């Protein structure tokens, strides 16, 4: 057997091995999501109030304090159901789609382009589970506290408006998911390579924590206005489905055409993302190694 044939056989073996072990990426992604949600939910809820109402952090915290501990974790179930599923898909589908596309594209196609496409496709598939994110917004919104008893009740009440109502705000979700996925997976490796070489498991964990946290903070800040529009769109029930540009224009005028008002809550957002994506990335890599 010649060297070229041997090399081709080794590549095929590695590909089959990776496909056979892709379940580990789904499991690690699910575990990472669960660890993150349990640790960061109160911070996320404070930021949500700032996004929706344009409040300062002290005012948002006062609101939550006055509502009590029971209300603080109201809306926890939807993100648990959504994030464990979507992060499992984010990491697992990215791995599967990358391998499938790399096998299918012509020789010489840049792997960066192929993996970026895989990341965008994985992010678009995640949007199928948007109803959980939609219900979470409704349960966290102060004006809906009396209207919806719990997660199941919110899902039941939305049913009378039709399937489309569950996907209100789909456009900003797609605008956020695909590009942010591509940047996250594309930059994760190069950033980690710039860090000091890890000489112990603990140092590996710190590098993963830093790398994920840095990327999460940068990307969530870049896409923060998109999330502000998404929250406004998803806080509405029934009536006209207003487009992304229309809702953005409304918010822009409401906040006096001031960019700093549009970014209210961004400080807490990047701090939360720094912690959140650090936990996600570090937990993912740790669980993947354990598996």
Q: What is the pLDDT of residue 220?
A: 94
| Rounded distance between C-alpha atoms, residue 86 and residue 21, angstroms | 19
What pLDDT was estimated at residue 93?
92
Q: Round to the nearest angstrom and report the end-to-end CA distance of the chain.
A: 34
Question: What is 169-190 written as a DSSP string?
Answer: THHHHHHHHHHHHHHHHHHHHH
**What integer pLDDT is reported at residue 18 of this predicted model?**
52
Report the predicted TM-score, pTM, of the whole model to 2 decimal places: 0.79
Whether residue 250 contacts residue 233, with contact meaning beta carbons closer than 8 Å, is answered with no
Which residue's structure tokens are 């992010």? 123
Write down the pLDDT at residue 23.
Answer: 85
Burial of 113 (0-12, 13-18, 19+ CB in 10 A): exposed
Q: Which residues of the chain have pLDDT under 50?
A: 1-17
| pLDDT confidence of residue 226 | 94
* Reduced 3-state DSSP string for 109-150: CCHHHHHHHHHHHHHHHHHHHHHHHHHHHHHHCHHHCCCCCC
CA distance 41 to 136: 11
d(CA 288, CA 84): 15
- Taking each continuous run of H as one helix and of E as one strand, the counts in the chain are 15, 0
**Res 38: pLDDT:** 81
Question: What domains, with CATH codes, occur in the chain?
Answer: 3-290 (1.50.40.10)
Q: What is the pLDDT of residue 5?
A: 39
Cα–Cα distance, 289 to 28 (Å, whole number): 9
The CA distances from residue 13 to 8, 23, 98, 127, in Å, are: 9, 17, 16, 33
pLDDT digits (tens, 9 = 90+) for 189-233: 899 889 888 888 889 999 999 999 999 999 999 999 999 999 999
Residue that has been written with the tokens 């650090």 in this structure: 278
pLDDT value of residue 6: 44
Contact criterion met (CB below 8 Å) for 198 and 270: no
Which residue in this structure is represented by tokens 């903070």? 217
């Amino acid at each position: 057997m010649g060297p070229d044939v041997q090399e081709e056989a080794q590549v095929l073996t590695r590909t089959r091995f990776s496909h056979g072990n892709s379940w580990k990426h789904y499991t690690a992604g699910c575990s990472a999501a669960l660890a993150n949600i349990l640790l960061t939910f109160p911070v996320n809820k404070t930021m949500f109030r700032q996004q929706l109402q344009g409040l300062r952090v002290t005012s948002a915290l006062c609101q939550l304090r006055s509502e009590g501990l029971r209300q603080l974790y109201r809306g926890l179930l939807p993100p648990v159901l959504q994030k464990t599923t979507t992060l499992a898909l984010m990491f697992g589908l990215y791995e599967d789609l990358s391998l499938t596309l790399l096998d299918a594209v012509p020789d010489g196609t840049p792997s960066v382009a192929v993996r970026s496409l895989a990341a965008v496709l994985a992010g678009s598939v995640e949007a199928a589970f948007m109803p959980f994110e939609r219900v979470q917004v409704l349960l966290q919104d102060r004006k809906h506290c009396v209207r919806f008893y719990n997660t199941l009740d919110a899902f039941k009440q939305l049913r009378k408006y039709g399937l489309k109502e569950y996907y209100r705000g789909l456009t900003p979700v797609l605008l956020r998911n695909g590009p942010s996925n591509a940047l996250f997976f594309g930059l994760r490796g190069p950033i980690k390579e710039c860090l000091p070489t890890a000489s112990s498991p603990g140092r590996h964990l710190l590098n993963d924590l830093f790398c994920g946290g840095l990327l999460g903070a940068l990307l969530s800040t870049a896409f923060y206005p998109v999330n502000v529009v998404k929250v406004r769109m998803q806080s509405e029930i029934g009536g006209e489905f207003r487009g992304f540009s229309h809702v953005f224009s409304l918010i822009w005028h409401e906040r006096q055409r001031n960019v700093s008002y549009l970014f209210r809550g961004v400080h807490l957002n990047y701090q939360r993302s720094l912690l959140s994506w650090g936990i996600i990335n570090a937990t993912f890599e740790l669980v993947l190694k354990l598996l």
